Structure 1
């Protein structure tokens, strides 16, 4: 005979423990069915049922207030988050830079001269062209 049973199974009389629900179910007559729900049921001896019943009840009574305080703290925290989320998003929007897609920020030009193109060749352009010619000559030689 198996010691573990599924919910809704017909079983012999005795005591059955469901660890996922923390419940002990007495079955008075052979052939009665276990309650429906999640988890598996294990048949336990009468002596263990007499010991476990007050332990499970006391554990439930000790943790019930703790669960209440945890749920209260969670509700207060969620309300505070909702209260401050709107103003925080508005503040972040005013503090962030105005970004526009396609706008180049790393052009090497100072902001006061931004968007103004330089006219005519500069000394830097001449040096760059001379370097490019030198590289081309070395590539041809090799």
Structure 2
């Protein structure tokens, strides 16, 4: 089982590999600390460090132009995509019905009569009868 160390840990002298950052770092004396950053550090033999450093450097040099082109095309695609997104948003705003905060849409009334309550003759008769009944009971007491 390979021993792993966290970033910033005090470690014995030697070479350490961080796979998440693709970095090899030397530690000269026992008790020195590893560099800060993400990932875990694994001790590797000196021969492995001497073989890995040129390979990691060459890999970086090969992928650096690829990364540059990928970022360039990503930026262009993002600009074109934002153009179409803005157009679609403007079109949707003109096609959707207007909405006003606080407006009730499920009242069962047509918009012309919204906010006004209709009273028919039956409602008036019931209210008049109830009013008379209350007045009679007040007189009795």
TM-score range, shorter chain: 0.5 to 0.7
Alignment correspondent of 2:33: 33
Structure 1 position 65, deviation (Å): 1.0
Alignment correspondent of 1:51: 51
Structure 1 position 84, deviation (Å): 2.3
Structure 1 residue ranges, 4+ long, deviating more than 4 angstroms after superposition: 96-102
Q: Aligned pair count?
A: 102
Taking only aligned residues, the RMSD between alpha carbons, in angstroms, comes to: 2.4
Task: Say which SS state the counterpart of residue 3 (structure 1) adopts.
Answer: coil
Task: Say which SS state the counterpart of residue 29 (structure 1) adopts.
Answer: coil
Structure 1 position 90, deviation (Å): 3.4
Unaligned runs of 5+ in 2: 100-104, 107-141
Unaligned runs of 5+ in 1: 103-142
Matched, 1:64 2:67: no
The change in CA–CA distance for 1:34 and 1:97 in structure 2 (over 3 A counts) is: closer
Q: Distance in 1 between matches of 2:91 and 2:9?
A: 60
Q: Distance in 1 between matches of 2:77 and 2:32?
A: 47
Q: Distance in 2 between matches of 1:30 and 1:74?
A: 46
Structure 1 position 98, deviation (Å): 5.9
Alignment correspondent of 1:42: 42
How do 1:1-142 and structure 2 match up within 5 A? 3-92=3-92
